[in-house]
Amino acid sequence: MGHSEKHHSHHKKENIWLGALGAFLFSLIGAATFFLLNAIGLIESLSGFITVFCAINGYAIFAKKESKRGVIISLVIAAVVIIVSWYFCFCLTAVDQINAKASGMPDGLRSTTTLGEFLPHSFDVIKKQPEMLISLGLSLVFGTLGYISHVTGLFGSKRSKKN
């Protein structure tokens, strides 16, 4: 959005519900990126940035206005999408690893474990190996930091209306 478009958008009525829907739908692009980067073994931090970027822009497009409230809603939605994406990537990777090796599996799992069979055991695995949460933390931190200039610009703008 250019400077004049941002200034003009302050006069439009903000539709919070449509904005939240837009943030969610656009953040799914970030979720797809998360799964793609995970599948090819790249760091998920980039997908955290993409998810936040898409959520904030999706909100602005659907709500027809960019606001502090919209950024906060978008960040919350993006964080939930990142967490859910990470969780399913973790579970898919764990199932692949379990199926690749027949020994050393948690109780109740066979060598041909399905995702549905693994899900009840997933939190036990995470508790035993909390270092697995590092990639989730990186995705959340870099997602937020990667778009911080947009957020601080919006919060710091003296011309923006108070919400």
Q: Which residue has the higher pLDDT, 159 or 96?
A: 96
Task: Give the Cα separation of 38 and 47 in Å (integer).
Answer: 9
Question: Residue 146 in contact with residue 48, Cβ under 8 Å?
Answer: yes
pTM for the whole structure: 0.70
Q: 2 pLDDT band (50/70/90 cuts)? A: very low
Between 16-30, 97-111, 148-162, the lowest mean confidence (pLDDT) is in 148-162
Task: Give the Cα separation of 67 and 46 in Å (integer).
Answer: 24
| Alpha helix stretches (DSSP H) within the chain | 3-9, 16-39, 45-63, 68-100, 115-128, 133-146, 148-156
Sequence letter at residue 31: A
Would you state the pLDDT for residue 106?
Answer: 59
> For residue 114, is pLDDT > 60?
yes
Mean pLDDT score of the chain: 77
> For residue 55, is pLDDT > 80?
yes
